[in-house]
Amino acid sequence: MDFQNLTVKDLRAKLDQKEISAPELTKAYLERISEKDPLVKSFITVCEDSALEQAEAAQWRIDAGEAAPLTGIPFGIKDNICTQGVKTTCASKMLEDFVPPYQATVMEKLCGQDIVMLGKLNMDEFAMGGSTATSYFAKTVNPYDSSKVPGGSSGGSAACVSASMAPVALGSDTGGSIRQPASFCGVTGLKPTYSSVSRFGLVAFASSLDQIGPIANSAYDCGIVFNSICGFDPHDGTTSRHPHGDALSLIGQSVAGLKIAVPKEFFEAGIDDEVKESVYAAVKAYEAMGAKAVEVSMPSLKYAIPAYYLISSAEASSNLSRYDGIKYGYRAQGEDDYNALIRKTRDEGFGTEVKRRILLGTYALASGYYDAYYKKALYLKGKIREEYNAIFKECDVMVTPTAPSTAFGFDEGISDPAKMYLADICTVTVNIAGLPAISTPCGYGKNGMPIGMSIVGKAFDEARIIQMADAFERDFKRVAPVL
Amino acid sequence: MGDVKLIQHLCNLSKLTLTDEELESFTSDMEVIIGIMDSIKEVSVEGDIHRDSGVYFADVRGDESAPSYPTDQILENAKEKEDNYFEVPKVF
């Protein structure tokens, strides 16, 4: 089977036309995983037996003529999304043995369509990082060059799809964790509008920013998955009752006449020349299709990194206080004092980056510092939202680089926290403003590594950014990874 | 913030214990990180801080009872338990 760039859309047709059965398809992907994953290391858990059982159930449904859009489609799932009866580790020693007694809402929805879950995917510990190298379990490598990171935190999801070990995966995005690894691994990733996808069962990092979304081989596939996972959820009080239309409704329509905002600050110092050139070339391609590019400004971008890190770390320090070794998760041994047990558990169970974020968040919220940091970060959040709103009064979408560079090497300072934080500059404002954005490949660097561009849309306008990404993807020739 | 005492204070607040080595490296890391965060100090706050936060709260659901998770399932992930309880060291 030729796996390269095989889309969910293609597979749906093959399954419905009985060119391949769901169990055959699942076996093919499981074989691919056993061949490729010892090199890529994208999976924390492979669910061979349950995947084959799910594939049988899916085939019954297909044979009965009752297939839903994702029935029988093999998925990889990021390991911070709770899967009932299957370990959900968050790539942390803290949750190494945690088996959720419930399904995340997104899993309820996908399993309701009889998808096949191939396994759980590697990530930065508790989704804190942009390299997947902070995982407690393994270092996932970039399928284009094993000396380079896959990005993060959904690095396992992006690498797995890039190396064709699954046609689609779920990731989560708090500050770029779907889009940046999609960019690094040459695939498409959608971060939905905040509140459109339920976070129930997503292990919390920063609750006002986290969103689950798909990583796939095309914008179209991202739309199929988004249609299946969005919507109000009584288990998540922050989900919107917005009536989500069909995210694929604009596919194939002309982009002529649409206005593309190109914010100058996203193309200034710190962004590699080859990235700028590729993204500008993509804007030119849209202009050739009849769209109009408009240069705009987002002055608050220079404060985006501190605003993001203060808000996300403050929320993380609160969310991660639940890990005490008592109710679930890792428990330290040899302490017979309650507080000492909690401290030792947290010291042994959390990795360095997680501790660093907890300390930063505690600092931002601590008495004496709150006004200077957290309050100002919230003010900037409002300001950044206002700047986006003003731009979207005039324009339909915004186009920016997804990351300042192509994937960096494992030896290029990934343990330097300041360097890593600053590398998130192109993605964090979208989370701060709660907007949808999709990253799709738009070029390759001199070293052959993929370059991604992000198309940002108005709140709940997923259909527009999917249409735009799809229009570009139709003429863009992807280069296959080496692994 | 390159202040060991401050890091120790934050560790106390967040129930973390660092080794001497960790304390040293965290102190210097945090100094650099806080340096990045400090740029927002130059921003002057005008108007309402909590305007349009972007978090959409759906209607509050009704106060209705619903089945809970079975006790045995909830206890399954606890490392130490006795009967229907989580086991903890003496608190006082």
- Where are the domains positioned within chain A? 8-255+463-473
> E-assigned strands of A9-101?
43-46, 74-78
CA distance B6 to chain A (A): 9
> Of B35, B37, B54, which is closest to A385 when you measure between CB atoms?
B54
CA neighbor of A266 nearest in space, from A400, A457, A419: A400
A227 falls in which pLDDT band (50, 70, 90)? very high
Q: Which residues of B touch A413 (CB under 8 A)?
A: none
Q: Which helix (H) or strand (E) holds A116?
A: strand A116-121
* Range of weakest confidence among A28-32, A194-198, A220-224, A238-242: A238-242
A390 touches chain B (CB under 8 A): no
Q: By CA distance, what is A306's nearest residue in B?
A: B37
A336 touches chain B (CB under 8 A): yes
B60 falls in which pLDDT band (50, 70, 90)? confident
* Residue A153: cis peptide before it, omega within 30 degrees of 0: yes
- Burial of residue A446 (number of CB atoms within 10 Å: 0-12, 13-18, 19+): exposed
B91 falls in which pLDDT band (50, 70, 90)? confident
Is A359 close to B11, i.e. CB distance below 8 A? yes
Residue A185 has pLDDT above 70, yes or no: yes
- Burial of residue B16 (number of CB atoms within 10 Å: 0-12, 13-18, 19+): buried
Task: State residue B1's pLDDT score.
Answer: 43
**Tokens, residue A62:** 């297909």
> Of A241, A330, A362, which is closest to B58 when you measure between CB atoms?
A241
CA distance A402 to chain B (A): 21
Give the phi and the psi of residue A456 in degrees, each rounded to 5. Answer: -100, 140
Mean predicted confidence (pLDDT) in B37-58: 75
Of A269 and A440, the structure prediction assigns the larger pLDDT to A440
CA distance A378 to chain B (A): 6
A65 falls in which pLDDT band (50, 70, 90)? very high
Task: For A359-401, give the DSSP string.
Answer: HHHHHHHSTTTTTTTHHHHHHHHHHHHHHHHHHHHH-SEEEEE
Tell me the sheet residues that pair with A453. A401, A440
Task: State residue B2's pLDDT score.
Answer: 53
Task: State residue A269's pLDDT score.
Answer: 78
Alpha-carbon span A423 to B24, nearest angstrom: 25
Q: Which residues of B touch A344 (CB under 8 A)?
A: 17
Mean predicted confidence (pLDDT) in A296-307: 96
3-state SS record for A195-222: CCECCCCECCCCCCCCEEEEEECCHHHH
User: Which residue out of B7, B22, B31, B33 would a mutagenesis test of the A interface target, given it has the greatest number of A Cβ atoms within 10 Å?
Assistant: B33
B5 touches chain A (CB under 8 A): no
**Tokens, residue A145:** 């060059």
* Range of weakest confidence among A366-370, B21-25, B47-51: B47-51
Average pLDDT, chain A: 96
Q: Which residues of B touch A194 (CB under 8 A)?
A: 54-56
Mean predicted confidence (pLDDT) in A343-371: 94
Alpha-carbon span A450 to A479, nearest angstrom: 8
Pairing relation of β-strands B85-86 and B81-82? antiparallel
Task: State residue A228's pLDDT score.
Answer: 98
Positions of A annotated as catalytic residues are 78, 153, 177
> E-assigned strands of A204-342?
211-216, 259-263, 292-296
Mean predicted confidence (pLDDT) in A454-477: 98
Residue B57 has pLDDT above 70, yes or no: no
Mean predicted confidence (pLDDT) in B8-16: 96
ipTM: 0.92
Mean predicted confidence (pLDDT) in A344-353: 96
**Tokens, residue B27:** 């102190």
Q: Which residues of B touch A363 (CB under 8 A)?
A: 1, 6, 10, 30, 34
Size of interface A-B (CB pairs under 8 A): 173
Q: Does the A8-255+463-473 domain belong in CATH 3.40.980.10? A: no
> E-assigned strands of A434-478?
437-444, 450-457
